[in-house]
Amino acid sequence: MSGSLVVVSGPSGSGKSSLCKAVCEAYDFAHLSISTTTRAPRSGEREGEDYFFASKEQFLAAIDSGDFLEWAQVHDNFYGTSKSRVIEALEAGRTVLFDIDVQGQAAISALFPKETTSVFVTTPDIAVLRQRLAGRGTDSEEVIEKRLINALIEMNQLDRYDYLLVNDDYDDSLEVLKAMVLASRYKVSRVSLPEFISTWKGQS
Ligand code: 5GP
Protein backbone atom coordinates (compact mmCIF):
# COMPACT_ATOMS: atom_id res chain seq x y z
CA MET A 1 0.00 0.00 0.00
CA SER A 2 1.31 3.48 -0.78
CA GLY A 3 1.59 6.29 1.75
CA SER A 4 -0.57 9.36 1.95
CA LEU A 5 -0.18 13.05 1.18
CA VAL A 6 -1.63 15.84 3.31
CA VAL A 7 -1.64 19.31 1.80
CA VAL A 8 -2.01 22.11 4.35
CA SER A 9 -2.73 25.60 3.01
CA GLY A 10 -3.88 28.84 4.55
CA PRO A 11 -2.78 32.43 5.00
CA SER A 12 0.77 33.20 6.14
CA GLY A 13 0.28 33.79 9.86
CA SER A 14 -2.48 31.20 10.26
CA GLY A 15 -0.11 28.97 12.23
CA LYS A 16 -0.07 26.21 9.60
CA SER A 17 3.73 25.87 9.48
CA SER A 18 4.07 25.35 13.25
CA LEU A 19 1.17 22.90 13.21
CA CYS A 20 2.70 20.87 10.35
CA LYS A 21 6.08 20.71 12.09
CA ALA A 22 4.46 19.58 15.35
CA VAL A 23 2.49 16.81 13.59
CA CYS A 24 5.71 15.52 12.01
CA GLU A 25 7.40 15.48 15.42
CA ALA A 26 4.45 13.55 16.88
CA TYR A 27 4.24 10.85 14.20
CA ASP A 28 7.22 8.75 13.03
CA PHE A 29 5.45 7.97 9.76
CA ALA A 30 5.03 11.65 8.84
CA HIS A 31 7.48 14.13 7.42
CA LEU A 32 7.36 17.58 5.95
CA SER A 33 8.11 18.28 2.30
CA ILE A 34 10.78 20.99 2.30
CA SER A 35 10.14 23.40 -0.57
CA THR A 36 12.70 25.36 -2.53
CA THR A 37 12.21 29.12 -2.61
CA THR A 38 13.80 32.24 -4.04
CA ARG A 39 12.59 34.23 -1.00
CA ALA A 40 15.32 35.48 1.37
CA PRO A 41 15.52 33.55 4.66
CA ARG A 42 13.69 35.14 7.61
CA SER A 43 15.61 35.40 10.84
CA GLY A 44 15.81 31.97 12.48
CA GLU A 45 15.04 30.07 9.26
CA ARG A 46 17.52 27.35 8.35
CA GLU A 47 18.60 25.88 5.02
CA GLY A 48 17.10 22.40 4.52
CA GLU A 49 14.88 22.72 7.58
CA ASP A 50 12.49 25.50 6.62
CA TYR A 51 13.31 25.77 2.93
CA PHE A 52 16.05 25.13 0.43
CA PHE A 53 17.00 28.70 -0.49
CA ALA A 54 17.91 29.28 -4.13
CA SER A 55 18.61 32.12 -6.53
CA LYS A 56 16.11 32.80 -9.30
CA GLU A 57 18.60 31.33 -11.83
CA GLN A 58 18.97 28.12 -9.81
CA PHE A 59 15.20 27.88 -9.46
CA LEU A 60 14.58 28.32 -13.19
CA ALA A 61 17.22 25.67 -13.95
CA ALA A 62 15.47 23.23 -11.56
CA ILE A 63 12.16 23.84 -13.41
CA ASP A 64 13.89 23.04 -16.70
CA SER A 65 15.37 19.83 -15.26
CA GLY A 66 11.91 18.69 -14.15
CA ASP A 67 12.90 18.63 -10.45
CA PHE A 68 9.57 20.00 -9.19
CA LEU A 69 6.22 18.24 -8.82
CA GLU A 70 4.69 21.71 -8.81
CA TRP A 71 5.90 25.27 -8.49
CA ALA A 72 4.22 28.63 -8.12
CA GLN A 73 4.88 32.31 -7.76
CA VAL A 74 3.56 33.61 -4.43
CA HIS A 75 4.03 37.20 -3.18
CA ASP A 76 6.71 37.95 -5.83
CA ASN A 77 8.82 34.87 -5.01
CA PHE A 78 9.06 31.40 -6.49
CA TYR A 79 8.27 28.26 -4.47
CA GLY A 80 8.53 24.64 -5.63
CA THR A 81 7.98 21.13 -4.31
CA SER A 82 10.72 18.61 -5.00
CA LYS A 83 9.58 15.53 -6.90
CA SER A 84 11.99 12.74 -5.94
CA ARG A 85 11.55 12.87 -2.16
CA VAL A 86 7.75 12.75 -2.42
CA ILE A 87 7.71 9.71 -4.69
CA GLU A 88 10.20 7.86 -2.45
CA ALA A 89 8.14 8.62 0.66
CA LEU A 90 4.91 7.46 -0.97
CA GLU A 91 6.51 4.19 -2.04
CA ALA A 92 7.84 3.65 1.49
CA GLY A 93 4.29 4.01 2.88
CA ARG A 94 5.01 7.28 4.64
CA THR A 95 2.82 10.37 4.97
CA VAL A 96 4.13 13.61 3.51
CA LEU A 97 2.79 16.95 4.72
CA PHE A 98 2.98 19.95 2.38
CA ASP A 99 2.83 23.50 3.66
CA ILE A 100 1.92 25.03 0.29
CA ASP A 101 -0.55 27.50 -1.21
CA VAL A 102 -3.82 26.92 -3.10
CA GLN A 103 -2.04 26.60 -6.47
CA GLY A 104 0.14 23.83 -4.99
CA GLN A 105 -2.89 22.09 -3.52
CA ALA A 106 -4.61 22.06 -6.91
CA ALA A 107 -1.51 20.56 -8.54
CA ILE A 108 -0.85 17.86 -5.91
CA SER A 109 -4.53 16.85 -5.74
CA ALA A 110 -4.63 16.53 -9.54
CA LEU A 111 -1.40 14.48 -9.64
CA PHE A 112 -2.30 12.20 -6.71
CA PRO A 113 -6.09 12.25 -6.38
CA LYS A 114 -6.27 8.96 -4.46
CA GLU A 115 -3.51 9.71 -1.96
CA THR A 116 -4.21 13.37 -1.20
CA THR A 117 -6.12 14.88 1.71
CA SER A 118 -6.28 18.67 1.89
CA VAL A 119 -6.71 20.94 4.89
CA PHE A 120 -7.21 24.70 4.91
CA VAL A 121 -6.04 26.43 8.11
CA THR A 122 -7.07 29.96 8.96
CA THR A 123 -7.49 32.36 11.87
CA PRO A 124 -10.92 33.05 13.45
CA ASP A 125 -11.05 36.33 11.47
CA ILE A 126 -8.98 38.84 9.47
CA ALA A 127 -8.29 41.05 12.53
CA VAL A 128 -6.53 38.15 14.28
CA LEU A 129 -4.51 37.47 11.13
CA ARG A 130 -3.41 41.12 10.90
CA GLN A 131 -2.43 41.02 14.59
CA ARG A 132 -0.39 37.82 14.16
CA LEU A 133 1.42 39.11 11.07
CA ALA A 134 2.26 42.40 12.78
CA GLY A 135 3.32 40.57 15.97
CA ARG A 136 5.76 38.41 14.00
CA GLY A 137 7.75 41.56 13.30
CA THR A 138 9.26 40.09 10.12
CA ASP A 139 7.23 41.88 7.44
CA SER A 140 6.78 45.54 6.51
CA GLU A 141 3.32 47.15 6.56
CA GLU A 142 3.22 46.86 2.76
CA VAL A 143 4.04 43.14 2.82
CA ILE A 144 1.39 42.57 5.51
CA GLU A 145 -1.25 44.29 3.34
CA LYS A 146 -0.23 42.07 0.41
CA ARG A 147 -0.52 38.95 2.58
CA LEU A 148 -4.00 39.99 3.79
CA ILE A 149 -5.20 40.49 0.21
CA ASN A 150 -3.71 37.13 -0.73
CA ALA A 151 -5.45 35.54 2.28
CA LEU A 152 -8.83 36.74 1.01
CA ILE A 153 -8.11 35.40 -2.48
CA GLU A 154 -7.13 32.02 -0.99
CA MET A 155 -10.22 31.91 1.26
CA ASN A 156 -12.36 32.10 -1.87
CA GLN A 157 -10.97 28.72 -2.91
CA LEU A 158 -11.80 26.98 0.34
CA ASP A 159 -14.38 24.75 -1.34
CA ARG A 160 -11.57 22.83 -3.07
CA TYR A 161 -10.41 21.47 0.32
CA ASP A 162 -11.50 18.42 2.30
CA TYR A 163 -11.20 20.03 5.73
CA LEU A 164 -11.35 23.50 7.29
CA LEU A 165 -9.42 24.10 10.51
CA VAL A 166 -9.95 27.41 12.31
CA ASN A 167 -6.82 27.81 14.42
CA ASP A 168 -8.13 29.60 17.48
CA ASP A 169 -6.40 27.51 20.15
CA TYR A 170 -3.05 26.03 19.02
CA ASP A 171 -3.18 22.88 21.20
CA ASP A 172 -6.73 22.05 20.12
CA SER A 173 -5.84 22.66 16.46
CA LEU A 174 -2.81 20.38 16.76
CA GLU A 175 -4.99 17.52 18.05
CA VAL A 176 -7.45 18.04 15.17
CA LEU A 177 -4.71 18.16 12.52
CA LYS A 178 -3.13 15.00 13.98
CA ALA A 179 -6.51 13.26 13.66
CA MET A 180 -6.83 14.39 10.03
CA VAL A 181 -3.31 13.18 9.19
CA LEU A 182 -3.96 9.83 10.83
CA ALA A 183 -7.28 9.47 8.98
CA SER A 184 -5.54 10.22 5.65
CA ARG A 185 -3.80 6.83 5.98
CA TYR A 186 -7.11 4.93 6.16
CA LYS A 187 -8.81 6.22 3.00
CA VAL A 188 -10.28 3.44 0.87
CA SER A 189 -9.10 5.30 -2.24
CA ARG A 190 -5.46 4.46 -1.33
CA VAL A 191 -6.15 0.71 -1.30
CA SER A 192 -5.95 -1.56 -4.31
CA LEU A 193 -9.18 -3.46 -3.67
CA PRO A 194 -8.50 -6.62 -5.77
CA GLU A 195 -5.11 -6.99 -4.02
CA PHE A 196 -6.59 -6.37 -0.58
CA ILE A 197 -9.44 -8.84 -1.09
CA SER A 198 -7.18 -11.52 -2.50
CA THR A 199 -4.80 -11.16 0.49
CA TRP A 200 -7.80 -11.15 2.83
CA LYS A 201 -8.98 -14.44 1.27
CA GLY A 202 -5.49 -15.87 1.78
CA GLN A 203 -4.73 -16.15 -1.94
CA SER A 204 -1.73 -13.90 -2.29
P1 5GP B 1 6.22 32.08 3.20
O2 5GP B 1 6.98 33.07 2.39
O3 5GP B 1 5.31 32.76 4.21
O4 5GP B 1 7.10 31.02 3.81
O5 5GP B 1 5.25 31.28 2.19
C6 5GP B 1 4.38 31.98 1.33
C7 5GP B 1 3.35 31.02 0.76
O8 5GP B 1 3.98 30.10 -0.14
C9 5GP B 1 2.66 30.17 1.81
O10 5GP B 1 1.26 30.16 1.53
C11 5GP B 1 3.25 28.81 1.63
O12 5GP B 1 2.36 27.80 2.01
C13 5GP B 1 3.49 28.80 0.11
N14 5GP B 1 4.47 27.79 -0.31
C15 5GP B 1 5.58 27.38 0.34
N16 5GP B 1 6.21 26.42 -0.36
C17 5GP B 1 5.48 26.20 -1.48
C18 5GP B 1 5.60 25.29 -2.60
O19 5GP B 1 6.53 24.50 -2.72
N20 5GP B 1 4.63 25.37 -3.55
C21 5GP B 1 3.58 26.23 -3.47
N22 5GP B 1 2.67 26.20 -4.44
N23 5GP B 1 3.43 27.09 -2.43
C24 5GP B 1 4.36 27.08 -1.46
Residue with CA nearest ligand 1 atom 12: 100
Mutate to test the pocket of ligand 1, among 32, 43, 74, 158 (most ligand atoms within 8 A of CB): 74
d(CA 94, CA 88): 9
Number of domains in the chain: 1
pLDDT value of residue 174: 98
pLDDT value of residue 204: 58
Residue 29 neighbours by CB under 8 Å, 6+ apart: 3, 93, 94, 95, 185
Q: Tell me the mean pLDDT per 10 residues along the chain, length 204.
A: 91 94 97 96 92 97 96 91 92 96 96 96 96 89 92 95 98 98 95 92 80
The answer as to whether 193 is a domain residue is no
pLDDT value of residue 138: 81
The answer as to whether 195 is a domain residue is no
pLDDT value of residue 2: 81
The answer as to whether 91 is a domain residue is yes
pLDDT value of residue 1: 56
The answer as to whether 69 is a domain residue is yes
Query: pTM for this structure?
Result: 0.93
Name the strand (E) or helix (H) holding 20. helix 16-26
Instruction: State whether the beta carbon of 104 lies less than 6 angstroms from ligand 1.
Output: yes
Ligand 1 centroid to Cα of residue 102, in Å, is 9
pLDDT value of residue 161: 98
The answer as to whether 198 is a domain residue is no
Residue 6 backbone dihedrals phi, psi, to 5 degrees? -125, 115
The answer as to whether 54 is a domain residue is yes
Residue numbers of the domain that contains 84: 4-188
Query: From the alpha carbon of 36, which atom of ligand 1 is closest?
Result: 19
The answer as to whether 203 is a domain residue is no
The answer as to whether 95 is a domain residue is yes
Q: Read off the CATH number of the domain in which 183 is found.
A: 3.40.50.300
Instruction: State whether the beta carbon of 103 lies less than 6 angstroms from ligand 1.
Output: yes
